[in-house]
Amino acid sequence: MTTQRLYSGMQPSADSLQAGNYIGALMQWRNMQEEYDAFFSVVDLHAITVPQDPAELREKTRRTAAQYIAAGIEPSKSTLYVQSHVRAHAELAWILSTITGFGEAGRMTQFKDKSQRYGESATSVGLFTYPVLMAADILLYQTNVVPVGDDQKQHVELTRDLAERFNARFGEAFVVPEPVIPQGSARIYDLQNPTSKMSKSADSHAGVLWLLDDVSVTAKKIMRAVTDSDGTVRYDRDAKPGVANLMTIYGAVTDTTAAEIEDEFAGRGYGDFKKAVRDAVVAEFEPVRTRALELLDDPAELDRVLAVNAAKADAVADATLSDVYDRVGLLRRG
Ligand code: ATP
Ligand code: LTN
């Protein structure tokens, strides 16, 4: 059996990734790269669907790539590259946009949320077609599986629909991908507001754990995390969201279950528990942070690695795109 192909990506929308990106995505990617022929991109073309400062975008793109590598995505094993380095993404997105219904795109909940948040005048057509570009990312590589969080599942469903529609109309050009919510992956919530998801673009950073923050800052944020007055370390997402969230984080970085954590802290207070979470998170983040900063100290080498990987991605993407151009009936340049 040939190795299945996997594709995923993250937007370079902040200087540092946050704990949710690390636990919910990078840790899973790191494991999955052993089993799959994996492609991981830094999706800069997606990031510009909302305004970005050009110099900052370049820097965030490098920083995101460095954090992938520091977290254990190996650029010699997986194809780790920057989306805009492979021109086929934008080109296939155009073709796919011509078979996407206006209403179909308008039903995407991320678009509805974001356009509501920014207002109509600040909502770009790029934000509207964001999922079509995402479909192009996935379909160019004949992807079998796409590990994503819940919030992106709808986009992968759209990708499946577009692949099936194209294949029915023009012949079998695309593998129809499956979304997978990776096993053991967990949703991480804001430490100050444990009912909303931890996010790079949160209004306040007080409850966001940044991978590249100084460990003393991370330690303080954990010690100040919102809990409750019940005093027992017990997993109850509804009644005790703050404690449940800390348990999820602790469980992910120490590879333990909620039941094991409850046993470990039975009869002990939140102070003890938070110190343990702090120590475990700091131990997990510290080497990743150090490695990322080292990589960022040598941007020329990082750019070289990204270029090698972009060439690998280009070769696969070009083959798909050229087949698609033929199927659609675009005249070849003589
Ligand atoms: P933004 O605020 O810019 O939308 P984000 O921090 O919410 O960014 P994304 O770039 O949208 O993150 O997501 C990248 C990956 O990280 C996705 O696979 C997503 O599922 C995962 N992820 C993001 N936030 C969390 C979280 N709080 N818990 C678990 N996984 C998360
Ligand atoms: N939209 C995704 C990022 C993303 C992606 C992809 C994920 C862009 N292209 C292809 C998986 C496959 C997000 O915001 N997390």
Domain residue ranges of the chain, discontinuous segments joined by +: 5-181+299-328, 215-293
Phi, psi dihedrals of residue 149, rounded to the nearest 5°: -80, 165
Residue 114 bears catalytic tag: yes
Whole-number pLDDT of residue 121: 87
Distance of CA 117 to the CA centre of its chain: 21
Report the predicted TM-score, pTM, of the whole model to 2 decimal places: 0.96
Tell whether ligand 1 has an atom less than 6 A from the beta carbon of residue 16. no
Q: 215-293 maps to which CATH number? A: 1.10.240.10
**Which ligand is the nearest neighbour of the Cα of 20?**
1
Strand partners of residue 41: 9, 81
Query: Does the domain formed by 5-181+299-328 have CATH 3.40.50.620?
Result: yes
Tell whether ligand 2 has an atom less than 6 A from the beta carbon of residue 146. yes
Strand partners of residue 210: 18
Tell whether ligand 1 has an atom less than 6 A from the beta carbon of residue 134. no
Q: Mind listing the pLDDT tens digit of every residue in the chain (334 residues)?
A: 689 999 999 999 999 999 999 999 999 999 999 999 999 999 999 999 999 999 999 999 999 999 999 999 999 999 999 999 999 999 999 999 999 999 999 999 999 998 998 888 889 999 999 999 999 999 999 999 999 988 899 999 999 999 999 999 999 999 999 999 876 668 999 999 999 999 998 889 999 999 999 999 999 999 999 999 999 999 999 999 999 999 999 999 999 999 999 999 999 999 999 999 999 999 999 999 999 999 999 999 999 999 999 999 999 999 999 999 999 999 999 8
CA of 230 to the centre of ligand 1 (A): 30
Same fold flag, 5-181+299-328 and 215-293: no
Distance (Å, whole) CA 211 – CA 302: 19
Nearest CA to ligand 2 atom 15: 10
Tell whether ligand 2 has an atom less than 6 A from the beta carbon of residue 138. yes
CA of 92 to the centre of ligand 1 (A): 25
Tell whether ligand 2 has an atom less than 6 A from the beta carbon of residue 200. no
Tell whether ligand 2 has an atom less than 6 A from the beta carbon of residue 320. no
CA of 78 to the centre of ligand 2 (A): 17
Tell whether ligand 2 has an atom less than 6 A from the beta carbon of residue 134. yes
Strand order in the sheet with 145-147: 79-82, 37-42, 5-10, 145-147, 178-180
Distance (Å, whole) CA 69 – CA 72: 5
Phi, psi dihedrals of residue 180, rounded to the nearest 5°: -130, 130
Nearest CA to ligand 2 atom 13: 10
Nearest ligand 2 atom to alpha carbon 149? 15
CA of 1 to the centre of ligand 1 (A): 33
CA of 156 to the centre of ligand 2 (A): 9
Among 114, 153, 220, 312, which one carries the catalytic annotation? 114
CA of 257 to the centre of ligand 1 (A): 23
Distance (Å, whole) CA 106 – CA 154: 12
Amino acid at 4: Q
Nearest CA to ligand 2 atom 12: 8
Residue 200 bears catalytic tag: yes
Tell whether ligand 1 has an atom less than 6 A from the beta carbon of residue 41. no
